[in-house]
Amino acid sequence: MSDGTLAALSRRLAAREISSVELVAETLDRIDAHQKALNAFVTVDRDGALAQAKAADAARAKGAAGPLAGIPIAHKDVLMTAGLPTTCGSRMLADFVAPYDAHVVEGLKRAGTVLVGKTNMDEFAMGSSNETSYFGPVRNPWDLDRVPGGSSGGSAAAVAARLVPAATGTDTGGSIRQPASLTGICGLKPTYGVASRYGLIAFASSLDTPGPFAQTAEDCALMMNAMAGHDPRDSTSLDRPVEDYTRRLSRSKGARPLEGLRVGLPREYFGKGNDTEVAAAVQAAVAEFVDLGARTVEVGLPAVDLSVPVYYGIAPAAASSNLSRFDGVRYGHRAARYDDLNDMYRKTRAEGFGAEVKRRILVGTYVLSHGYYDAYYVKAQQVRRLIADDYARAWRECDILVGPTAPSPAFRFGDKTDDPVQMYLNDIYTIAANLTGAPAISIPCGFTRAGLPIGLQIQGDYFSEAAILDVAHRYQQATDWHARVPRIAAAE
């Protein structure tokens, strides 16, 4: 019952075939059964979830419920949830209980979703493998010896293992799309500012973007209907008309639904560096788009090769500023013994932060320091503009861009932890969408011979979420990669 899509569960709840209490109880039992193996959750709120489910059933009985009412979801543990711990996967906030809800949490709560728990993540969203969490690594449900990607690995693993039908994540340099690729599900990064950052504990404020994980593009659209919207509490939130992100999905388009669509193939995404099986799966997906009526256009994004160094000039600089608030004075961890105020700061931050967070704080402080600010931070911002200009030119030639989400399938634990640069390069294809602020989605497009998922990234121009969701939906109507489940979920 709990392995259905959001859309399917919504129909069953509306038809009274199942109740929310039954659905949520089964979901909680599945989480309990798989938590030890996957470590996908940091917090599970059984009593709160069952109380919300009862309220959702009552609302449906009165005819006062929307399509998501009564459906269990999970939130990444970087989003504030009133009355529940919000840890950011860090010792620094291990005992912190959020006093209010994030904007996207509020939106999904108003839609009637049932929060079952908070998902594990790389510490303060810094990582591509979910190996940096204070609460231990999350495991990939397709192969427990491999990483699920990061930083939103807990949410991705929970959806891939069918513990919940959908979950939230945040994307700073690919932290929704890369784990979606490595776990075989769908993950959408919206246009920056479409989903408010209010209540999202900041890593890099000009890059962080909340977004949904789900089994299908249609489900991502349903989630976006509840998550998007203007929020005056967030100065970067965009005041735009309310959209229905499902509006294009129900249109019948015949045997060639993508007729006339111009699919851009960036030369930089199809060169060296890709795993051969990833490259083959992406080429097969492009051929499927052509069969559905699209035509391909080769485009160039010459500055995109600089995305990783640009990102690691900008993001750590923001992190060094945003994380300065965690000093042991107001909230979070505080060292037990110290000599004076400065000693308290030093010991608290030394104990509270993990190695990767410390590394990025140090890098960020360095690039912002006198004598290096112009050479590194300002230069990174200038190249960021060049990357955006490349994309602006590409949109004059094509409607969407497609390519691999990640250059390789899920790697084994420990394979990249001793070489941070190799870890950072796992986001080579996802970072540009954060630097430009444009939307992008990762959807499953195949599997390796070893049975590991491969993700296809579809990028669009600003505010084209409905369009790229429609393209992804049409592809999923013609293929079944998104419907395949790992053995850990299929065994039940």
The model's pLDDT over 451-461, given as tens digits with 9 standing for 90+, comes to: 999 999 999 99
d(CA 366, CA 316): 9
Least confident among 176-185, 249-258, 463-472: 249-258
For residue 300, give the nearest of 403, 427, 177, 171 by alpha carbon. Answer: 403
pLDDT computed for residue 488 by the predictor: 87
Range 6-259+397-490 classified under CATH 3.40.50.10540:
no
**For residue 397, pLDDT beyond 70:** yes
d(CA 293, CA 475): 11
SS3 state at 73: strand
Q: How many CB atoms lie within 10 A of CB 396?
A: 7
Predicted confidence band of residue 412 (pLDDT cuts 50, 70, 90)? very high
Q: How many CB atoms lie within 10 A of CB 292?
A: 19
Q: Which residues are catalytic?
A: 76, 151, 175
Helices 217-227 and 465-478, packing angle to 10 deg: 160
Which secondary-structure segment (H or E) carries 74?
A: strand 72-76
How far does the chain reach from its first CA to its final CA, in angstroms?
Answer: 11
**For residue 76, pLDDT beyond 60:** yes
State the DSSP code for 417: T
Largest CA distance in the chain: 74
pLDDT computed for residue 489 by the predictor: 81
Helices 379-394 and 307-322, packing angle to 10 deg: 130
3-state helix, strand, coil in the chain (%, to 5): 40, 15, 45
- Burial-class residue 201 by CB neighbours within 10 Å (0-12, 13-18, 19+): buried
**For residue 2, pLDDT beyond 70:** no
**In terms of DSSP H, where are the helices of 163-298?**
177-183, 217-227, 276-291
The CA R_g of the chain, rounded to the nearest whole Å, is: 21
Whether the CB-CB separation of 190 and 211 falls below 8 Å is answered with yes
d(CA 115, CA 20): 12
**For residue 1, pLDDT beyond 90:** no
**For residue 492, pLDDT beyond 60:** no
**For residue 246, pLDDT beyond 60:** yes
pLDDT computed for residue 325 by the predictor: 95
pLDDT computed for residue 255 by the predictor: 83
- Report the percentage of the chain scoring pLDDT > 90: 94
Whether the CB-CB separation of 67 and 167 falls below 8 Å is answered with no
Q: What is the average pLDDT value for the chain, to the nearest integer?
A: 96
Whether the CB-CB separation of 182 and 148 falls below 8 Å is answered with yes
Mean pLDDT score, 20-37: 98
Q: How many CB atoms lie within 10 A of CB 318?
A: 21
Q: Which residues lie closer than 8 Å to 346 by C-beta, 6 or more apart? A: 338
Whether the CB-CB separation of 181 and 455 falls below 8 Å is answered with yes
pLDDT computed for residue 252 by the predictor: 67
Encoded tokens for 456: 């296809």
Domain boundaries, the chain: 6-259+397-490
pLDDT computed for residue 474 by the predictor: 97
- Burial-class residue 97 by CB neighbours within 10 Å (0-12, 13-18, 19+): middle
- Report the percentage of the chain scoring pLDDT > 70: 99
d(CA 127, CA 150): 6
**In terms of DSSP H, where are the helices of 262-378?**
276-291, 307-322, 341-352, 355-367
Identity of residue 381: Q
